[in-house]
Amino acid sequence: MTSSASASATKIHLVPATDSGVFNAGVREDTARVTSELLQDDMEKHHVFFNDMGFHSASPEHIKNAYNQNVSYQRPAKPVDPGVVQSMCEVDGFRAGLGMEKNYSNYLAFFQGEIDAKGVGDVLAEYLFAGDERAENMLCRLFGGLIHPLIHLCFGLEFNQPAIVAQGLAQAAVHDDWLGRAFFLPAEKMSAGVGVAGKKSLLELLNECRAEKTLVDSVKWADSNKIKDGVMTRAPEQMLKIAAQFTVSEDQVEERLADMINTVVYYTSAAQRSTREMRLDFFFIHCVNSSIFLSKIVNLPYLGQRSKLRLMEWKGRIDLLMYVSRGTPELFVDEVAKYPIKEDWPQIFERAVSHSTDDGHLAKLARAVAHGQRVCQGIENKMPINGDMWLRIGNIAVDSTVGEGQNGMWIRSTGFDEAWESQGHDHM
């Protein structure tokens, strides 16, 4: 893994010249230094805290404020048990602690040791992509918890930080794997294998979800977990049938990359109600925020082609499932196309990173949308999001999140009338 000389499995060290990510708006040396120090502090002191900071166009003060805003509710890290860490070297010992949050510190120490000894590339190959039971188990867990383990791991990959990769793997290890068993692995089996040339784009499959009444009716507002109790209980066959059709062959990577990014930005921005002020769905924005990492993943020299294609396929499938799980909302792209442009990207970034109550979701969203504009430029004429709509969505993102307090920023499960009426918390 190409990384800064002093970045290691236990040391976070961001250098603007080499570690500024796939999209940035200029990274200051002092900001990189403060970010490194705070991420290091977080890793050493806290349990499993997903640090949602803006890595670009921010001042050291922005970074410190974001950290202080979130540090108050973090739980202290549990002590490492050297005996348990040692036992993880054996397959049975590794498996014994999976899914238990109390083992986060042990898995973190274990993966730090593995990365120090073998390097990031070999560790990913062994623990995520080897194809054996342990790796399949971990890959399932990587996509758990609203894909936060995947997001965390990919931040480590994007910014060349082995320590954050270790955190992401440890975070995956303590999540559950039910969604992988119920959805990802069966869909992959139905798809006739990884890397098969896909006949349908993600956008086409999204439209098929909307047209399938069984899927539209599969989720109820009262479902406490709208994926598990809704889609995967009432319409698993229909969901799997459509999801299995999303495949990516080696010669489709560039085309699918743009399709995937455009489609999640489309349904996130266009899931509106014409009688209401524009709002963005909290669950959907995770699909957008994680889409930026695909641009890094497809270019990683140490990741095999099959692994890259597999990650793209799983990402596309969770994007479809997430859309259905929020009530397959009707999409009003005209509402997006006519939204006024009041600010350009530098101003949007500034508002995002200096937001008084945001925990980082907004800053990541603005970055991911701006990156989507770059990826789709020149090939977006047949895509729903095109031209200046990207900038309009950036304006929607910052304008719609000015409400006081965390509950006021996002809408949750935008396909339901109740979400627009309550604007309060909803369960996964």
- The separation between CA 194 and the C-alpha centre of its own chain, rounded to angstroms, equals 21
For position 174, what pLDDT does the model report? 96
pLDDT at 77: 73
424 in a structural domain: no
Structural domain count of the chain: 2
3-state per-residue secondary structure call for 164-175 = HHHHHHHHHHCC
Q: Is the domain of 171 the same as that of 273?
A: no
Q: Using the 3D structure, point to which of 175, 208, 229 is the last residue of a domain.
A: 175
Pull the structure tokens for residue 8: 């290691």
**Residues 118-135: tens digit of each pLDDT:** 999 999 999 999 999 999
- Using DSSP's 3-state secondary structure scheme, residue 403 falls into coil
Residue 410 and residue 289 in one domain: yes
Predicted local distance difference test score (pLDDT) of residue 402: 77
For residue 4, the model assigns a pLDDT of 41
Instruction: Using the 3D structure, point to which of 142, 175, 208 is the last residue of a domain.
Output: 175
Rounded distance between C-alpha atoms, residue 289 and residue 58, angstroms = 18
Same domain assignment for residues 170 and 242: no
**pLDDT score at 360:** 87
Checking if the pLDDT of 177 tops 80, the result is yes
Structural domain contains residue 342: yes
Q: Which residues pair with 281 in a beta bridge?
A: 411
User: What's the pLDDT score for residue 427?
Assistant: 40
Contact 418, 215 (CB under 8 A): no
Rounded (5°) CA angle 89-93-96? 145
pLDDT score at 56: 36
Separation between Cα atoms, residue 296 and residue 159, nearest integer Å: 10
Task: Identify the pLDDT of residue 15.
Answer: 83
Q: Are residues 375 and 250 in the same domain?
A: yes
- Encode pLDDT of 71-121 as tens digits: 554 556 789 999 999 999 999 999 999 999 999 999 999 999 999 999 999
Q: Do residues 194 and 164 both lie within one domain?
A: no
- Confidence grade of residue 18 (pLDDT, cut at 50, 70, 90): confident
- Quickly state the pLDDT bin for 21 (edges 50, 70, 90): confident
Question: What is the C-alpha separation between 182 and 345, in angstroms, rounded?
Answer: 40
The residues facing 46 across adjacent strands are: 76
Do 221 and 167 lie in one domain? The reply is no
Tell me: do 78 and 48 sit in the same domain. yes
Q: Which two tokens stand for residue 87?
A: 């036992």
Could you list the residue range(s) of the whole structural domain that residue 255 is in?
180-419
- The answer on 240 and 216 residing in a single domain is yes
Q: Enter the tokens of residue 140.
A: 């399932």
Same domain, 162 and 102: yes
- The yes-or-no verdict on residue 57 having pLDDT over 50 is no
CA nearest 369: which of 261, 272, 296? Answer: 261
Q: What are phi and psi of 411, to 5 degrees?
A: -100, 150
Q: Residues 207, 164: one domain?
A: no
Domain boundary among 175, 198, 222: 175
Question: What does the alpha-carbon distance between residue 62 and residue 48 come to, in Å, rounded to a whole number?
Answer: 22
The DSSP line for 239-284 is: HHHHHTT----GGGHHHHHHHHHHHHHHHHHH---TTS----BHHH
Q: Are 203 and 169 found together in one domain?
A: no
Contact yes or no for 84/97 (Cβ under 8 A): yes
The answer on pLDDT for 357 being more than 90 is: no
CA 326 from chain center: how many Å?
17
- The pair of structure tokens assigned to 219 is 């989720």
pLDDT for position 46: 57
Per residue in 378-427, pLDDT tens? 998 889 999 999 999 999 999 999 765 445 799 999 999 999 986 544 44
Q: Please tell me whether the overall predicted TM-score, pTM, comes out greater than 0.85 for this model.
A: yes
